[in-house]
Amino acid sequence: MSEEIRKLAPKEVWENFYQLTQIPRPSKKEAAVIAFAKKFGEDLGLKTIVDEVGNVIIKKPATPGMENRMGVILQSHLDMVPQANSTTNHDFEKDPIDAYIDGEWVTARDTTLGADNGMGVAATLAVLQAKDLQHGPIEALFTIDEETGMTGAFGLKPGLFDGDILMNLDSEDEGELYVGCAGGEDANVTFKCTMEAIPKGYEIGAIAVTGLKGGHSGMDIILGRGNANVILFRLLKQLEKQYSIRIASINGGSLRNALPREAFVTYYAPEGKKQNIESDIKKFEAIIVKELSGTEPTLGIATAKPSIAKNVIDAKTQSNLINAILACPNGVIRMSDSMPGLVETSINLAIVKSDNDKIYVQCLMRSSVDTARDALAQSVKSVFDLAGAEIKFEGGYPGWKPNMASPILKTMMEIYNKKFGKVPEIKAIHAGLECGLLGGVYPNWDMISFGPTIRFPHSPDEKVKIDTVQKFWDFLKETLKNVPVK
């Protein structure tokens, strides 16, 4: 089915995007797509390098008569978020994405689509191969591992580029120009536990929280969607108190930057209580479904087939874990004072997973105000310190401060108004665009971010609106034609 997208317009962009869907490229597994991008540049006869961390850089000279224009760096990331519904056996390291047309949208069957940031990559490749575009000097920067650590952006060295303007093609609302983004930091927590023998007279059981929408932990956190980890631990707190259940294993969430859609627990409870527990689970499900009726219509909480277990987590660690998860901040913490409707600070309680005698908890904190992010980190640390866990903060990256006097911003606003009859909205984004890091290495860059309309990135519901891809492409071409003179 995925080949049908090759017939869409603009054909040059959709053909490149189709090629990307055929190349497995989950974060940290980008070898094949790096090789693809490198060959793409070399086959065009363009100067192409792969830097020491794996970023691909391709340089295209200006078209005749445009040599005096400011140089433009077109930037996007090669990796994609590997999220699939539990009903599919998709292997993101081997299988292509099955993209298809669904009305006005292109989406994928039971997996993430990879439009984030495949559409930006595809458009940049189309610029590189185009023979009929007018543009000044072009430098394409394809970074790696944006989704799980911004490894490519962190590893970029100075002195590789000659351009003055960075166009990041990784935002997700056509008709909007982004001039700022949130910084972020991971909180990685480890509980050390003692695995004890299963109490006598206890029988095994399991619970599954499924059917949540999930989504991007920055872009979608304002939507008030449920967090599978928080929901499951609310129930575990109740069952621990009422039935003295003992947890054998837990597995909630899968990616630090995705809202957790599913969470599973295997537990032991006193014999003869199974029917009562199942009844309580149904009552709890009714409560949560009512609470989240507007955002999670397919949420389900039910008994499940338990995994094999020979031991349970010691009671003290279990109690500390449950209390800490319920006390940990989650969701939107503060809205922006300067930009109405923008989340300033948030946290996603992304992963809770047991592995033998350790339990790992991972949160991703975001904020456009670095001091606010630091204050949130103090709160999170206090919670897990009290619970006796170890906590490390890693992967911190700065935000991107808006520059409303940006020359490329002024140019693009004028172009968009002239071409489409309206002024584009100027926004900042509550997500970790690479601009903050890249601007630290190249402080001379005038930066802006734009893209087609993408919905529900980082989830199997991800989709890109077809007509906005054409507008995005037309806008990009017209902008390159009108880049300011040096």
Work out the average pLDDT over 355-381. 96
> Percent of the chain having pLDDT more than 70?
100
Judge whether 374 counts as a catalytic residue.
no
pLDDT at 429 over 90: no
Would you list the domain boundaries of the chain?
A: 2-182+399-481, 185-397
What's the pLDDT score for residue 450? Answer: 97
Residue 341 exposed, middle or buried by CB count within 10 Å (0-12, 13-18, 19+): exposed
Question: How many angstroms separate the CA atoms of 50 and 110, rounded?
Answer: 33
Give the tens place of pLDDT for each residue, 32-57. 999 999 999 999 999 999 999 999 99
3-state secondary structure the chain: CHHHHHHCCCHHHHHHHHHHHCCCCECCCCHHHHHHHHHHHHHCCCEEEECCCCCEEEEECCCCCCCCECCEEEEEECCECCCECCCCCCCCCCCCCCEEEECCEEEECCECCCHHHHHHHHHHHHHHHCCCCCCCCEEEEEECCCCCCCHHHHHCCCCCCCCCEEEECCCCCCCEEEEEECEEEEEEEEEECCEEECCCCEEEEEEEEECCCCCECCCCHHHCCCCHHHHHHHHHHHHHHHHCCEEEEEEECCCCCECCCCEEEEEEEECCCHHHHHHHHHHHHHHHHHHCCCCCCCCEEEECCCCCCCEEECHHHHHHHHHHHHHCCCEEEEECCCCCCCEEEEEEEEEEEEECCEEEEEEEEEECCHHHHHHHHHHHHHHHHHCCCEEEEEEEECCECCCCCCHHHHHHHHHHHHHHCCCCEEEEECCCCCHHHHHHHCCCCEEEECCCCEECCCCCCCEEEHHHHHHHHHHHHHHHHCCCEC
Question: How many angstroms separate the CA atoms of 368 and 6, rounded?
Answer: 38
Q: Which fold has domain 185-397?
A: Alpha-Beta Plaits (3.30.70)
Contact status, residue 127 vs residue 58, Cβ threshold 8 Å: no
Question: How many angstroms separate the CA atoms of 10 and 466, rounded?
Answer: 10
For the chain, how many residues are written? 486
Question: How many angstroms separate the CA atoms of 263 and 427, rounded?
Answer: 34
Question: How many angstroms separate the CA atoms of 106 and 183, rounded?
Answer: 30
Note the CATH number of domain 2-182+399-481.
Answer: 3.40.630.10
Active-site residue identified among 79, 220, 262, 296: 79
Question: How many angstroms separate the CA atoms of 307 and 450, rounded?
Answer: 45
What's the pLDDT score for residue 1? Answer: 59
Report strand pairing: 425-429 vs 176-181.
parallel
Question: How many angstroms separate the CA atoms of 167 and 446, rounded?
Answer: 9
pLDDT at 312 over 80: yes
What's the pLDDT score for residue 474? Answer: 98
Give the tens place of pLDDT for each residue, 465-477. 999 999 999 999 9
Of residues 87 and 99, the one with the higher pLDDT is 99
Judge whether 146 counts as a catalytic residue.
yes
Active-site residue identified among 145, 146, 240, 262: 146
Taking the model in full, what pTM does it have?
0.73
pLDDT at 307 over 90: no
What's the pLDDT score for residue 272? Answer: 95
Across the chain, mean pLDDT equals 96
pLDDT at 264 over 70: yes
Residue 326, Cβ neighbours under 10 Å: how many? 15
pLDDT at 142 over 90: yes
- Tokens read off for 222: 């304002």
Work out the average pLDDT over 383-398. 95
Work out the average pLDDT over 438-450. 95
Dihedral sign, Cα of residue 48, residue 52, residue 54, residue 55: negative
Give the tens place of pLDDT for each residue, 403-420. 889 999 999 999 999 999
pLDDT at 226 over 80: yes
Residue 275, Cβ neighbours under 10 Å: how many? 8
pLDDT at 401 over 90: no
Work out the average pLDDT over 425-430. 91
- Same CATH topology for 2-182+399-481 and 185-397: the answer is no
Work out the average pLDDT over 432-458. 93
Report strand pairing: 358-367 vs 183-192.
antiparallel
Work out the average pLDDT over 224-252. 98
Amino acid found at 21: T
Give the tens place of pLDDT for each residue, 59-89. 999 999 999 999 999 999 999 999 999 889 9
Amino acid found at 284: F
